[in-house]
């Protein structure tokens, strides 16, 4: 299982991001950097790792969630209790829909089983889908698919910038794109 697929980004100029907490349901296996949704019961669950984009109905009608700060799929011991993770464990997550910028190097053309592609300056301003990719060994994991995200249907990720291997915007460095810097929009059942 990959870990730290998607993480919050803080630029060299500073910045902060908030965290929220949710309780874990039984038999969860998400890790840091993986999406989690708060379902109607008020507990956290990871969307299906089924190579299709996250759609709003995958994350329940509550629509709340974010990216896990850590989880039972990454470490065996709950850092809050010093014991093994148990049902009800409190897991922090970085919420979507709050303007938080996230970063990932996981980017593919179409479908969760597709091969990775290099992000380009033309990806800036695009709204893409978040998908779990099974390609590679180990698998690529969670990232962005270069397919237009549909507001009101998909969990939409809006690309703000493309960074090179040194985390410099490629529009300035003229380097090769490695990372996508993006915002996860709050899910909505109605298009704007």
- Structure confidence by residue, pLDDT tens digits, 17-69: 788 888 888 778 888 889 998 887 778 888 888 888 888 877 765 568 899 98
60 within 8 A of 39, measured Cβ to Cβ: yes
pLDDT of residue 170: 96
Indicate whether 46 belongs to any domain: no
Indicate whether 17 belongs to any domain: no
Share of the chain above pLDDT 90, in %: 33
Indicate whether 7 belongs to any domain: no
Count of structural domains within the chain: 1
Question: 107-108 and 141-148: which strand pairing?
Answer: parallel
Buried b / exposed e along 18-41 (16+ C-beta atoms within 10 A): eeeebebbeebebbbbbbbbbbee
Indicate whether 82 belongs to any domain: no
pTM of the model: 0.87
Indicate whether 154 belongs to any domain: yes
Q: Residue 148: pLDDT band by 50, 70, 90 thresholds?
A: very high
Size (the chain), residues = 192
Indicate whether 73 belongs to any domain: no
Structural domain range at position 178: 101-184
Q: Residue 136: pLDDT band by 50, 70, 90 thresholds?
A: low
Say yes or no to pLDDT of 132 above 70: yes
- Residue range 123-144: average pLDDT? 84
- Residue range 115-139: average pLDDT? 86
- Residue range 61-84: average pLDDT? 80
Q: Residue 118: pLDDT band by 50, 70, 90 thresholds?
A: very high
Output the six-digit token pair for 186: 């709050």
């Amino acid at each position: 299982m990959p870990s730290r697929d998607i993480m919050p980004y803080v630029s060299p100029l500073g910045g902060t991001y908030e965290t929220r907490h949710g309780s874990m349901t039984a038999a969860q296996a998400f890790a840091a950097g993986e999406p989690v949704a708060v379902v109607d019961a008020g507990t956290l669950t990871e969307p299906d790792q089924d190579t299709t984009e996250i759609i709003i109905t995958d994350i329940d009608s509550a629509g709340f969630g974010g990216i896990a700060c850590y989880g039972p799929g990454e470490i065996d011991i709950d850092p809050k209790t010093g014991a093994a993770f148990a049902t009800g464990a409190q897991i922090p997550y970085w919420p979507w829909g709050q303007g938080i910028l996230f970063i990932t190097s996981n980017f593919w053309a179409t479908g969760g089983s597709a091969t990775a592609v290099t992000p380009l300056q033309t990806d800036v301003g695009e709204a893409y889908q978040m998908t779990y990719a099974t390609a590679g060994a180990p698998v690529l994991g969670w990232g962005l698919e270069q397919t237009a995200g549909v507001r009101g249907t998909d969990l939409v990720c809006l690309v703000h910038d493309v960074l090179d291997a040194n985390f410099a915007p490629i529009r300035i460095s003229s380097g090769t794109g490695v990372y996508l810097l993006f915002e996860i929009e709050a899910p909505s059942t109605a298009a704007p």
